Structure 1
Amino acid sequence: MNDPSRNAGAATREAGRLEVGAPMRRRSFLQGAAAAGAAVSLANQAALAEGESGFWAKDLPNEKLVDMYRTIVRIRWHERTMADKMASDPNYRGYNHFYAGQEAVAAGVCAALVNAGGVLKADLVYSTHRPTGHAIAKGVDMKKMAAENEFKATGLNGGYAGEMHLSDPDVGFIGADGMIGPGPVIATGSALAIKARGSRQVVVNFGGDGTYATPHFHATLNNAALLKLPFIYVLENNLYHQYAHYSYSCPLKDIADAAVPYGIPGVVVDGQDVFQVYNAAKIAVDRARAGQGPTLIEAKTYRYYNHWGAPGVKPGQLGAFGYDPLAITSFRPEREVRAWMQRDPVNIARDILITWGVLDRARADQIEAAAKQEAVEAFQWAAAQPNCREDGALKRVFTAGDVPPRQFG
């Protein structure tokens, strides 16, 4: 049976392949990256022309497909509401890295996982400093997460974790990691424990394109391959780590090619199409659960907002735009942002489901309106919650006993 996700990956690799030993200028790299993106887009359009977006996703029950769309719009409106709050509410206390534009990656991957049963039964997810989309897709409560992001006492982690250390073991969301790199090393430790006890769980680590340049990335793939761990590295390549294009720190057009030396599958997938992502994730999950070892999935995607915070954000407008002499918003061309927004994960998922007869536009609009209302209510609830207390900040730092507050200076 035809597998469009593999066809897209093959097309991307062909479009983006370098001649061995050939000098590479930044302009030629970007031209190659653009060609690779176009190849993914064309392959995806071909799949849609055939009335399908994958050999597994199209056979899922309707409610499962609708739930994937629901997850995407829930993430989208959480991010938009959070961005609006950060840009316009002087009382908002969060420090946020937005996930809008990348929703299909989290939704597609987590749809292929077991998301209930706690750390001993659910599949486990390790996240990044940009964790909110992964958390929602894994089943984390939106209200408690919104409260945690504002350091509220009723937040997910009592207000002491904040965005970059969110955690909810009850749904297998082990947590975010504010450091670039170490997360996957810890995640493979969990994968080793799972293999040792034979629980057949799978561990997914989400990372950005910037993680390629860390030693942790390569140590993780090496050890996971050596030990055949039930581990999946999902690398969300949104082209930029902070304010630098990934070509400045990675010699590969397709970071998935980094899997080759370790003898494990390296898969390129269109990260804007949730059903293509699901197909790739299902293959990797089934492989890991069967004891066949790890997979590296590179999802080509894009973030609509800045690396963090509100620069370039206008309340009610999706995305960050405008020129900043400090390069806070002008590190990437505005046309590039708008071009990627033309292949929006929300629109792609909705249009595919309408084509398949799973949804009509009215029902899709209802689902999105409900997601928007949920996000508004979550942030309203969070704003009304009490702040966490200073004297509790050192509680539960150690396995036994508390650290008494001390005055320094």
Structure 2
Amino acid sequence: MTDTAESRPEAAETVEMPSASRRTFLKGLAGAGAAISLPATAARANGEIGFWAKDLTDDKLVEMFTTILRIRWHERTMADKMLTDPSYRGYNHFYAGQEAVAVGVCSALRNSGGVMEADLVYSTHRPTGHAIAKGIDMKKMAAENEFRATGLNGGYGAEMHIADKSIGFMGADGMIGPGPVIATGSAFAIRARGSDQVVVNFGGDGTYATPHFHSALNNSAMLKLPFIYVLENNLYHQYAHYSYSCPMKDIADAAQTYRIPGVVVDGQDVLQVYNAAKTAVERARAGEGPTLIEAKTYRYYNHWGAPGAKPGELGAFGYDPLAISSFRPEREVRAWMARDPVDIARSILIRWGVLDQARADQIESDVRDEVTEAFAWAAEQPLCNPEDGLKHVFAEGTVLPRQFG
């Protein structure tokens, strides 16, 4: 995907659409997974946005934009600390560039009420964006990522294992791939007790080549589980292009095998993602089974850490033989950054009259202050105790024998 004229928000003003059925035309484009921003930039006031996003309140739209910014500045701040602060203990698989996917999906979910009421999210080894979009406490997450005792998980889980059951964020997946199997188990439990919750599993493009991907889709399709697989196709698993492990251009085509919907969306456009996610959520709540959503997106930093990046700048460029950061061309990175999810979201809301530029700038300034405060708070927290590392590892007490017959 490149930054072509038809892919930019401004192009929506020049596209010729049939006057007799513009709404149908827009739905058809989005349903076909057109990787453009047209449905999200059509006239909201006339209902031509189609689907669910037209019903979002101004407050909700501003909240979504704010959350996108919150993820972006969390990632940028953490990258800068890794590059400039020798005392900083955190590390991350950065999510910058993919913010619209997490926010679009989680905005369609129920995010409060604990594990018995909230919709559940199972994340990847790149979890911070999903966690913030689900509503996690950013201060506690910042503390967890730096191994502080007041972190979400006492400082023992760190980035690849953060979790918060109170909002239905079931945890990151340090063992790459098995997440969907655990997620479908939760979906089965939800259906067995008659709840209307749904389960979302985020996965990367590399998960297509794992048995867990196919097992999860097969079982959830057979049992019509309330399960949504959101595959974030950022083109690369670690340093290899996804074409080395997948024979299709669109991984969502795999859904045809299991006779379930497979939807491709522009992962840079939060409202396209929201429309697809909301449709999948409604389908799951109605007992109609799973959906596979493939979001075409891109990560701005390296696979993990901040090699190739510079303090104060967004993205990783250049050649670093230790980090293999030359695995993708700089032109490709910059082309994707030209279709930035922050810029697209801001442009849509200004076009719709939800925000003006001054208010958008103020929201971003406030978010930066919030993120700075979160990291400052985390830095003041006590470190976890190494001698407590084996806590919560072994079961204690007596286990009664099970009785059969």
- Please report the TM-score for the alignment, with normalisation by the length of structure 1: 0.88
2:204 corresponds to 1:208: yes
Shift of 1:126: 0.1
1:166-315 to 2 correspondences below 5 Å:
166-315=162-311
Shift of 1:325: 3.3
Three-state SS of the structure 1 residue aligned to 2:32 is helix
2:327 corresponds to 1:334: no
Percent identity (aligned) = 77
Residue type at the aligned position of 1:7: L
Is the 8 Å Cα contact of residues 138 and 374 (structure 2) preserved in structure 1? yes
Residue type at the aligned position of 1:73: L
Shift of 1:391: 1.5
Residue type at the aligned position of 2:203: G
Which 10-residue stretch deviates more, 115-124 or 54-63?
A: 54-63
Is the 8 Å Cα contact of residues 98 and 267 (structure 2) preserved in structure 1? yes
Shift of 1:94: 1.1
Is the 8 Å Cα contact of residues 105 and 271 (structure 1) preserved in structure 2? yes
- Please report the TM-score for the alignment, with normalisation by the length of structure 2: 0.89
Shift of 1:56: 1.6
| Distance in 2 separating the partners of 1:45 and 1:104 | 16
Shift of 1:45: 3.8
Shift of 1:399: 4.2
In structure 2, the residue matched to 1:110 is: 106
Residue type at the aligned position of 1:324: D
Shift of 1:355: 0.7
| Distance in 1 separating the partners of 2:212 and 2:76 | 32
| Distance in 1 separating the partners of 2:25 and 2:217 | 26
1:184-238 deviation per Cα after TM superposition (whole angstroms, max 9, x unaligned): 0000000000000011000000000000000000000000000000000000000
- Unpaired runs of 5+ residues, structure 1, are 13-39, 403-409
In structure 1, the residue matched to 2:9 is: none
| Distance in 2 separating the partners of 1:158 and 1:69 | 30
| Distance in 2 separating the partners of 1:247 and 1:189 | 30
Is the 8 Å Cα contact of residues 3 and 54 (structure 1) preserved in structure 2? no
In structure 1, the residue matched to 2:29 is: 7
Three-state SS of the structure 2 residue aligned to 1:99 is coil
Residue type at the aligned position of 1:322: G
Shift of 1:383: 1.1
Which 10-residue stretch deviates more, 389-398 or 75-84?
A: 389-398
Is the 8 Å Cα contact of residues 97 and 299 (structure 2) preserved in structure 1? yes
Three-state SS of the structure 2 residue aligned to 1:283 is helix
| Distance in 1 separating the partners of 2:267 and 2:90 | 27
| Distance in 2 separating the partners of 1:5 and 1:96 | 38
Is the 8 Å Cα contact of residues 157 and 167 (structure 1) preserved in structure 2? yes
In structure 2, the residue matched to 1:36 is: none
Residue type at the aligned position of 1:93: R
Is the 8 Å Cα contact of residues 5 and 280 (structure 1) preserved in structure 2? no
Residue type at the aligned position of 1:379: F
Three-state SS of the structure 1 residue aligned to 2:88 is coil
In structure 1, the residue matched to 2:4 is: none
In structure 2, the residue matched to 1:48 is: 41
Is the 8 Å Cα contact of residues 208 and 246 (structure 2) preserved in structure 1? yes
- Unpaired runs of 5+ residues, structure 2, are 1-22, 399-405
2:126 corresponds to 1:130: yes
In structure 2, the residue matched to 1:64 is: 60
In structure 1, the residue matched to 2:349 is: 353
Three-state SS of the structure 1 residue aligned to 2:86 is coil
Three-state SS of the structure 1 residue aligned to 2:201 is strand
Shift of 1:384: 1.2
2:336 corresponds to 1:371: no
How many residues align? The count is 373
Three-state SS of the structure 2 residue aligned to 1:313 is coil
Shift of 1:394: 1.0
| Distance in 1 separating the partners of 2:50 and 2:348 | 11
- Cα gap change, 1:401 to 1:105, in 2 (>3 Å): farther
Shift of 1:397: 1.6
| Distance in 1 separating the partners of 2:276 and 2:39 | 18
Is the 8 Å Cα contact of residues 112 and 168 (structure 2) preserved in structure 1? yes
2:67 corresponds to 1:76: no
Shift of 1:274: 0.3
In structure 1, the residue matched to 2:82 is: 86
Shift of 1:59: 2.1
Choose which of 311, 319, 326 in structure 2 pairs with 1:323: 319
Choose which of 141, 144, 147 in structure 2 pairs with 1:145: 141
Three-state SS of the structure 2 residue aligned to 1:268 is strand
Which 10-residue stretch deviates more, 185-194 or 364-373?
A: 364-373
1:335-391 deviation per Cα after TM superposition (whole angstroms, max 9, x unaligned): 100000010000100110111111111111111111111111111111111111012
| Distance in 2 separating the partners of 1:245 and 1:390 | 39
- Cα gap change, 1:344 to 1:196, in 2 (>3 Å): same
